[in-house]
Amino acid sequence: MGGTWEVGIDIGGTFTDVIGINVASNEVRTAKVRTQTSDPVSCITSAFGAIGVDWDSVSDLMHGTTMATNAIVEDNLAPAALVATEGFRDTIEIGRQNRRELYRLHVTPRLPPLVPEERRIEAVERIGPEGQVLKPLCEDESRRVASIIGDLNVEAVAIALQHCYINAAHEKMLGDQLSKSIKYVALSHEMSPEPREFERTNTTILNAALMPLTARYLDELQSGAGDRTNIHLLHSAGGMASIDAVKERPLTLALSGPAAGVAAAGKIANELKLDNAIGFDMGGTTTDTCVVIDGKVQIGSDQRLAGRPVRQLMVAVESIGAGGGSIARVEGAAVRVGPDSAGAEPGPACYGHGGQLPTVTDANMTLGFLSTERLLGGVIRLNKEKAETAINTLAHKFGTSVHETALGVYRVANASMARALRRVTVERGVDARSCSLIAFGGAGPMHAVALAREFGIEKVIVPKFSSVFSALGCLTAELSYAEQHTVRMPSTDWDTDQLNERCKSVVDRLSKPIVAAGHDADKVTTSFIALIRYAGQSDTVEVSFNLPCDPEKLGQDFMAQHTKLYGFATDEPWQFETLRVTVSEPSKGDIAKLNEVEQEETTTPISTENIWFETSGPVSTRRCERGALPVDWKIQGPAIVEDDWSTIVVPPGATAWVDPTGHLIIEAGEGI
């Protein structure tokens, strides 16, 4: 492979971000292009063109995508069949009794099952909770099930049998039989080797239904790359995976886009030695928040996508429909922002592409935060008159001025994001006031200081390459694979040999694709996490450990973590419920070593303009070029700091400066 460029690309809902580094010359190029939601491969080609490269010159492409998420949200999934144990085919329809809104009687009807009744097939077999075979699966039964599936005219099949996470023999047998006639087969013991059959079954069905869609896209992408370019995709746990691995488990792409920004935020937190940090990624369509504790990105296994339970390892991100393109509307006597978005087409009114509904970007434009002299994302000339016209449609309904209304939209959007930030910190037992806020995405730096002040956060960091930060996360992510397995080992009946054997088996399996990709086996690193609970407790607590595992130390660490999260711990027996193993090969990317194009340093502002921060009136504000600011030169707010791709708002009372590594540091202050 003769290419010298390593490229990271993140396809978002509004823009596709790209960053490339030439490993021969250390040159860095960044750009944004409009996302073509109907043709993601064209987004890749357009992104290459924007930084002046092509497939022949690219040695490695690291890629994040919202393709899987969009397919689930839009219900654009391939028809799939389900094979379940006799008597359990209706598990996905029965579901759970818990409701998201316990005391609200008028709620949206429950979602229909992912597989209709006519495509749910029962297999006569049964494995018990200890892995014992209660009813054998015979060859004739496997052929009978395969014959029924063959008449359904489906591309994909999900197999989810009872207690297969303990004994997978029956699932493997059915999988082998069905693979002879069905191209895409997903086995639940591979997707989610744990109990909770409802979540495990839904997860397996989603994976099966994504397989045809993902395979077509990846085949087209691989065809364009040929044998010239290595392609890796960012998975939901924040690492990179090979195309072959993703084809088998496309559901791992479910949080690919947000995971890229989280991965980069973790690297920034380590680079700046931040104990606790909050990643705040505000794009055109959504805002994603996450917590980084002791430099480690937090991972969870229980999440929901479009209301569907998903049981797999994913970054612990709280996503809400509040981005720059989120539409503001009147509801009763109040303004509501999002979750629907103007998207890339037609986009906010200020884009000038036919959008007329008021959005958060239009509010920022009306307040003066955004400049009419710059091309947004390098491609869009903003129109302030059209932004004000859109905001005026709200102002007339409230009898307020256009600037008062724009401030209202800005603050409502901030309040929505504050709720997401509160959830993601409180659930992890973290006091937001002890954190630094790492703000990125196209719109994040415009709202970051206001959000920090609401929580009492003192420091905001706007990283270098902040507006293409998710693409940077792709470029610098580790190649990694992770799995979670049920253990159920009581502290009163500890078996060190069994645990060591289980850990080694998982590590050996997860290491194979990394070694197969040409990486040195000696450089592969592993991490182990035990999910522990007291007997009878519903939720588990995550505790890291090393091999050989010392049960006494593990118990002490569990109690310390339990006290941190819940305020107490007891000496009663506990149980090692689940094992999580991550195997990775350290990335080559180092954010601190990526240098932007040097500009002549100056403290002279580009312009001075009247900008609205409060309803009392506009304030004379300097607009500065970020790349020209001298290192450690303090900028007293109010100020606007710009680069080619993003705008950073430094309100009155805040102080900002560029540190030696190129990150913009802001002391939030208390405002006016």
pLDDT of residue 15: 79
- Residue 263 DSSP SS3: helix
Query: CATH number for the domain including 229?
Result: 3.30.420.40
Residue 126 counted as domain residue: yes
Looking at the structure, tell me whether residues 86 and 183 fall in a common domain: yes
Domain stops at, among 586, 607, 630: 586
The residue among 95, 92, 196 whose CA lies nearest residue 578 is: 196
pLDDT, residue 179, reads 94
Query: Is there a domain that residue 258 lies in?
Result: no
Q: What is the mean pLDDT of the chain?
A: 88
Q: What is the pLDDT of residue 384?
A: 94
In a domain, 307, yes or no: no
Residues 545 and 513 in one domain: yes
Q: Are 156 and 208 in contact (CB under 8 A)?
A: yes
Q: Do 157 and 238 fall into the same domain?
A: no
Q: Are residues 190 and 235 in the same domain?
A: no
Do the domain assignments include residue 468? no
The tokens 């037992």 sit on which residue? 429
* Average pLDDT of adjacent 10-residue blocks, the chain of 672 residues: 83 84 88 80 90 92 84 86 96 82 70 94 95 95 95 95 94 96 94 89 96 91 85 87 88 86 87 90 82 83 81 83 84 82 81 89 95 74 92 92 95 89 82 91 90 92 88 85 89 93 91 79 88 88 92 95 90 93 75 61 87 93 92 93 88 94 90 56
Shared domain check, 194 and 93: yes
pLDDT reported for residue 671: 60
Domain C-terminal end among 209, 238, 262: 209
Q: Which helix (H) or strand (E) holds 425?
A: helix 402-426
263 belongs to a structural domain: no
Does residue 125 sit in the same domain as residue 228?
no
Q: What distances in angstroms separate CA 535 from CA 26, 218, 491, 571, one per listed residue?
A: 55, 45, 10, 12
**Do 84 and 61 share a structural domain?**
no
- pLDDT of res. 225: 84
- CATH code where residue 576 lies: 3.30.1490
Query: Position of tokens 């910190």?
Result: 425
Q: 586, 615, 645 — which closes off a domain? A: 586
Give the domain extent around 66: 5-72+215-253
The verdict on residue 600 lying in a domain is: no
Helix, coil or strand: residue 528: strand
d(CA 643, CA 625): 6
Residues 139, 245: one domain?
no
174 and 93, same structural domain?
yes
Count of domains observed in the chain: 3
In this prediction, residue 55 carries a pLDDT of 92
Alpha helices for 456-527 (secondary structure H): 469-476, 496-516
Residues in CB range of 589: below 8 A, 6 or more apart: 6, 21, 472, 475, 476, 477
Residue 599 within any structural domain of the chain = no
Q: At what angle do helices 384-398 and 402-426 cross, to 10 degrees?
A: 90
Tell which residue, 71, 194, 258, has the closest CA to residue 487: 194
SS3 643: coil
Cβ–Cβ < 8 Å for 100, 174: no
**Judgement on whether residues 66 and 154 belong to the same structural domain of the protein:** no
